[in-house]
Amino acid sequence: MVDIKPFRGTRPYGEKAENLIVPSTDYLTEEKKLDLFEKNYWNYLKILNPVGQTKEKDSLKIAKDHFKEMKINNIIKKDIIPQYYIYRIKTDHHAQIGFMAIADINKFLINKCIRGHELTYSQRTNERAEQMLNINTQIGPIYATYSDDNEIDDYLFQLTLTTPQYDFLAFDKSKHTLWCINDEFDIETLSRLIKKIKCLYIADGHHRMAAMRIISDNKEINKSSNSEYSYFMFAAFPASKSKIYDYNRVIKSLNGLSFNDFLSRIKINFEINESENKIRPMSKRNFGMYFNKKWYSLRFKNENLLKESIISKLDINIIDEFCFKPILGIKDANTDDNIRFIAGSHGLEALEKKVDENNGSIAFSIFPTNINDVIEVADNNLTMPPKSTWFDPKPLDGLVVYEFEKK
């Protein structure tokens, strides 16, 4: 059982929430970041990803001063009593209702009841930890999911029938609505219900989680096992409502091969057919490929070559092991400059645009990873290939933040 409890969140007070929240950086070009800075002085992006300041020596000081200024000017305020936050995210064709709380990170270490599915990298983790400690605050929640529970879902829905504290459209036109739950009966009821959650699965935020472990393990900072530094903030949604898009690839070059040579090699394991239409795979073992303004359908044909493990049978692993590594020479997708990742929420047009703008490049569309596969991987303490999942919509950074200091 995960040790979950309400907390005193810090949230928008003297400024509209939509002016403070940080859109996913995957939606932001440098030009859009600059535009956001100019229009919204108080935006948290100045702390998380300052344009033109990320490599400057004083970037941490700038972030710290900005956060302090936000509090002095009552742009944000910390809630007086601990509470839960009910969070609903809606798009034109999707809605999910979850809750924000904090959980004891030591439970993760001891009982492994908070599980991830991705590898983390020390440099990025250390940067996250430094960023958090600089302002003693976790600005973005870890996006978690849990096995569906009708009783929890029904009660969360009942709590959304009241007037929300915030209700606005975000950068990507998704609608975000937040309720602050501070009634004693509601807190007790929700606390009782969420005790049934046996495990949280990290959907997005693996590096934040790793950073919080670093902070919690630092005895100079975290002097008590029950201090604020021992907890992390998360936003949890039911597994069936956590939507996963395809996470597609663009390869900048064919590793010195002509396109015909590349085709002859990939045909060993894939059936290939030219298509007049864009290819968004509708089932496992099927892929789309775009090169020189033409689409091709690919179907993996050598099932007997796959191992029994869940990782081996993931489509993202199949294209990795039978195309990217042996043919295109991409040994580590996290560090190889020859590969780019495009979230499926951007559409197939984004793949076409990248390829058309870069002569000799090639794109692959991939069937989305299933949430049940994510859970199975996590339950078996395994990790997926890099950039295997794209959860969208996501909880926003800056709507509710978690300050480690009690005052």
Task: Give the DSSP letter string of 293-361.
Answer: TEEEEEEE--GGGS-SSTTTTSHHHHHIIIIITTTT--S-TTT-TTEEEEEGGG-HHHHHHHHHHSTT-
The domain made up of 246-388 is a member of CATH 3.30.1760? yes
Whether 230 contacts 105, CB under 8 Å: yes
What is the rounded distance in angstroms from the CA atom of residue 58 to the CA atom of residue 53?
8
How many CA within 13 A on the CB side of residue 404?
Answer: 23
pTM for this one? Answer: 0.91
Locate tokens 């509470």: which residue?
A: 83
Residue of 73 and 52 predicted with greater confidence: 73
- Report the relative pairing of strands 142-146 and 231-238 from DSSP bridges: parallel
Assigned token pair, 342: 């495009």
Taking alpha carbons only, the member of 128, 149, 313 closest to residue 240 is 149
β-pair partners for 290? 295, 363
What is the rounded distance in angstroms from the CA atom of residue 101 to the CA atom of residue 295?
45
What is the rounded distance in angstroms from the CA atom of residue 270 to the CA atom of residue 265?
9
Average pLDDT, the chain: 90
How does pLDDT run across 108-145, given as a tens digit for each residue?
777 788 899 988 888 889 989 999 999 999 999 999 99
How does pLDDT run across 176-196, given as a tens digit for each residue?
999 999 999 999 999 999 999
Determine the 3-state secondary structure of 167 from DSSP: strand
Determine the 3-state secondary structure of 287 from DSSP: strand
Determine the 3-state secondary structure of 48 from DSSP: helix
**End-to-end distance of the chain based on CA atoms, in angstroms?**
29
Mean pLDDT, rounded, for 207-222: 86
Exposed/middle/buried for residue 70 (C-beta within 10 Å: 0-12, 13-18, 19+) = buried
Per-residue pLDDT at 224 exceeds 70: no
Q: Tell me the one-letter amino acid at 238.
A: P
How does pLDDT run across 362-374, given as a tens digit for each residue?
999 999 999 999 9
What is the rounded distance in angstroms from the CA atom of residue 299 to the CA atom of residue 310?
19
Determine the 3-state secondary structure of 142 from DSSP: strand
Per-residue pLDDT at 320 exceeds 90: yes
Q: For residue 407, what pLDDT is reported?
A: 61
Q: For residue 26, what pLDDT is reported?
A: 61
Whether 202 contacts 8, CB under 8 Å: no
What is the rounded distance in angstroms from the CA atom of residue 41 to the CA atom of residue 32?
14
Q: For residue 59, what pLDDT is reported?
A: 82
Determine the 3-state secondary structure of 185 from DSSP: helix
Q: Tell me the one-letter amino acid at 114.
A: I
Domain locations in the chain as residue ranges: 4-243+392-403, 246-388
With a pLDDT cut of 70, the percent of the chain lying above it is 94
Q: For residue 54, what pLDDT is reported?
A: 46
How does pLDDT run across 17-59, given as a tens digit for each residue?
999 998 766 666 677 777 777 778 899 988 887 654 444 557 8
